[in-house]
Structure 1
Amino acid sequence: MEKQEIRTFGRRHGKKLSTRQQTLIDTVLPTLKPKTGDILEIGFGAGEHVRALARANPDKIIIGAEPFMNGVASLLSAITDEKTNRILDEYSGIRIWANDVRDFLRETDSQFEQIWILHPDPWPKARHEKRRLLSAEFLNTLSKYLTANGEIIIGTDHWEYFDWILEQIKSTDLTATIPDMEIIQTRYQHKNKAGTDTPKYLILRH
């Protein structure tokens, strides 16, 4: 019997979408379905970092994977002209996978220069630990989609999850370094300045 995957995210729909957002999902999103790409971000939230990646890498295809439809709608709103719904030139390299990233990985033959995972759900309760995305099994899967010099960049402000990830890495073929790097201020990080832990980052390589 085929092993059933445990879902690593919660509900896919939140507050009701605006008329324009629903129109973008119905008409623009299907045109952005990815096949292959150069840089992948998993769980992009509202898409601030995906947009920054696109601006910094205008010659690359940037794939954002996000199962939460409100986040997808926010990104679509930000990368399209408000009057025409046309993709803005600076974001022409963005592609969107609006579902579980594992389904995309089964379909693509991409070799990524970078895979970004910023602030994945830490699932802090012990009974939910199996839902954590960054297991050794998943990291080993991601490593197969890296170029020879490719990197997986991970950021979390949940320090217990950070330590758990380090333990998971020991069961992979990846090596980890803790970088001294400035990361764009995503909305989640901005909200988090209210009093929880400072984000920590890892770079994983073959």
Structure 2
Amino acid sequence: MDETQLGDSKVIVTNQTGIHEKLTEIVEKHLAHRSKKPYQQHTLEAFSIANERVKAHQGEVILDSCCGVGQSTRLLAKNNPNALVIGVDKSAHRIERNDEELIERTDTQGVNNYLLLRADLNDFYRLVAQEKWQVNQHYILYPNPWPKSKHIQRRWHGSAVFPEIISLGKRITLRSNWRLYLEEFLIAAKLTNRTGDICKVENSPALTPFEAKYQASGQTCWQLDIF
């Protein structure tokens, strides 16, 4: 990523002057032709564990994508005690980190209605859609954006699994310190007949370590809710 240092965090720098000129073309291509790449074995194994928990759960399911060290997953589980919260990240190091300080800081001792998994979300999303999970809320919280114009297809709305992403969740919530990223996602969502709103994240405790850093350095954080 191209980034410039600001305080304790970084400001995104992009060579785009607005919405990517090929956004609609890319999204429509992926909507018409679904990804068929082989699944990675570690993701199949992680999904199997999650699927058993989901099948056994009598209540709402919340998906927390790119959950990092699991701070957001734990907080969502604490705030939604009757839900099963599934946190997924590609990094085994982050997922397996058992940070007692983090747990104490978030006051999530004893919270156990969540599951943290290491998996490739490009595969995991397709498996969830295939199994037809009834996801009530889907969170994608920081940082994805890949701000260089040539990397548009690495952003979630430009990826081959966008059709699965947009199908998962009665409500989808994204947060970012790059508003253009959320504006593009909203345009992509509208191509599937979903709508949404973008607003500032204000008067709200940080859900993730990234959000805390952005807020501490004075950056504006944005939230997109897809309905």
What TM-score do the two structures reach when normalised by structure 1? 0.68
Name the counterpart of 1:129. Answer: 152
- Taking the TM superposition and a 5 Å limit, the aligned residue runs for 1:167-182 are 167-178=187-198
Find the aligned partners of 1:152 and 1:56 in 2 and give their Cα distance. Answer: 17
Asked whether the 8 Å contact 1:120–1:133 carries over to 2, the reply is: no
Percent pairwise identity: 23
Matched ranges for 1:11-160 at <5 A: 33-35=49-51, 36=54, 38-74=61-97, 76-78=98-100, 89-90=110-111, 92-108=112-128, 109=131, 110-135=133-158, 138-146=161-169, 150-160=170-180
Question: Offset at 1:97?
Answer: 2.6
Structure 2 residue identity aligned to 1:50 = T
- Tell me what 2:211 maps to: 189
Give the drift of 1:203.
Answer: 1.0
In structure 2, the residue corresponding to 1:41 is in which secondary structure? strand
Cα distance 1:141–1:61, how it changes in 2: closer, same or farther (>3 A)? same
User: What value does the CA root-mean-square deviation take over the aligned residues?
Assistant: 3.2
DSSP 3-state at the match of 1:121: coil
> Residues 42 and 115 of structure 1 are in contact (CA less than 8 Å); yes or no, is this contact kept in structure 2?
yes
Deviations 1:167-197 (A, max 9, x none): 2223122111235765441210121235464
Contact preservation (8 Å) 1:119, 1:155:
yes
The Cα shift of 1:98 comes to 0.7
- Kindly provide the amino acid, as one letter, of the partner of residue 49 in structure 2: K
Consecutive unaligned residues of structure 1, counting only runs of 5 or more, are 6-28, 82-87
Whole-Å separation in 1 of the counterparts to 2:70 and 2:149 = 29
1:162 aligns with 2:185: no
1:198 aligns with 2:214: no
Cα gap change, 1:3 to 1:94, in 2 (>3 Å): closer
Cα distance between partner residues in 2 of 1:198 and 1:179:
10
CA distance in 2, matches of 1:151, 1:189: 21
The whole-number CA distance in structure 1 between the counterparts of 2:216 and 2:61 is 35
1:132 deviation in Å?
Answer: 0.6
Distance (whole Å) between structure 1 residues aligned to residue 63 and residue 73 of structure 2:
9
Q: Aligned partners of 2:217, 2:76: CA distance in 1, in Å?
A: 28
CA distance in 2, matches of 1:200, 1:188: 13
The structure whose residues are more often helix, as a share, is: 2
The gaps in structure 2 that reach 5 residues or longer are: 1-33, 38-44, 55-59, 104-108
- Residues 109-143 of structure 1 show CA distances to partners (whole Å, capped at 9, x for unaligned) of 31111000111311011221111113386443234
- Structure scoring higher RCO (CA < 8 A, sep ≥ 6) equals 2
For residue 173 of structure 1, give the secondary structure of its aligned residue in structure 2: coil
